[in-house]
Amino acid sequence: MNINGEFIAFFIFSVLAIGGAVFMINLTRVMHMALALAFTFFSIAGLYVLLDAPFLAVIQILIYTGAVSILMIFGIMLTKHKDEDKVAPFTVHKLLSLLGVGGFLAIVIWIIYRNPFFSTGEPQAAAFKVTDLGKAMFKTYMIPFEVTSILLLVALIGAIVLAKREEKK
């Protein structure tokens, strides 16, 4: 294994990403958890940069580190300041959940490795431009893109309707 700048950067980012996730689970105060999660999101953006995908990295920071984390922290800010989570005892329900999640992970990994996407030779990530992404999205995959946007719009309106109904009670 040759140790170069890329390897060191990869090592730092992976340690930060995994460390953030572990801290997120183990910390007791909700605000600390949200911050640990933000660190994980940010480190994943760093990994995208190493994989020659700067656009994806920037979008990851913009949406996850910027918007999602801030919204979470914003919501948590209004809760009790000294509120701490108690560590719940280990139950049968938890064991079943663990098995379910583990099984799901195994199936997802199996599907990913069966996918021919990985066997189409050397990927050309470095030559990829943002304009190519735009062309693929608005020319080749125009219909799926529009359908997805309608789906998101429906979900948005649904969320508003649900929230409004709760308000009346």
Residues of the shown chain interacting with another protein in the complex, contacts defined by CB under 8 A? 29, 31-32, 35, 38, 42, 54-55, 58-59, 61-62, 65-67, 69-71, 73-74, 77, 81, 129-131
Nearest distance, CB of residue 136 and another protein, angstroms: 16
Cβ–Cβ < 8 Å for 35, 29: no
Specify the residue, 74 or 104, whose C-beta has the smaller distance to another protein: 74
Specify the residue, 109 or 150, whose C-beta has the smaller distance to another protein: 150
**Structure tokens belonging to residue 46:** 């760093």
Nearest distance, CB of residue 50 and another protein, angstroms: 13
Residues written for the chain: 169
Nearest distance, CB of residue 63 and another protein, angstroms: 9
Specify the residue, 21 or 29, whose C-beta has the smaller distance to another protein: 29
The long-range contacts involving 67-72, CB below 8 angstroms and separated by at least 24 positions, are 68/41, 69/34, 69/35, 69/37, 69/38, 69/41, 72/34, 72/37
Nearest distance, CB of residue 31 and another protein, angstroms: 6
Specify the residue, 77 or 105, whose C-beta has the smaller distance to another protein: 77
Please state, as a whole number, how many other Cβ atoms lie within 10 Å of the Cβ of residue 50. 15
Residues with Cβ within 8 Å of 59's Cβ and at least 6 positions away in sequence, in order, are none
Specify the residue, 21 or 53, whose C-beta has the smaller distance to another protein: 53
**Structure tokens belonging to residue 39:** 């660190």
Helix (H, G, I), strand (E, B) or coil at 84: strand
Nearest distance, CB of residue 24 and another protein, angstroms: 15
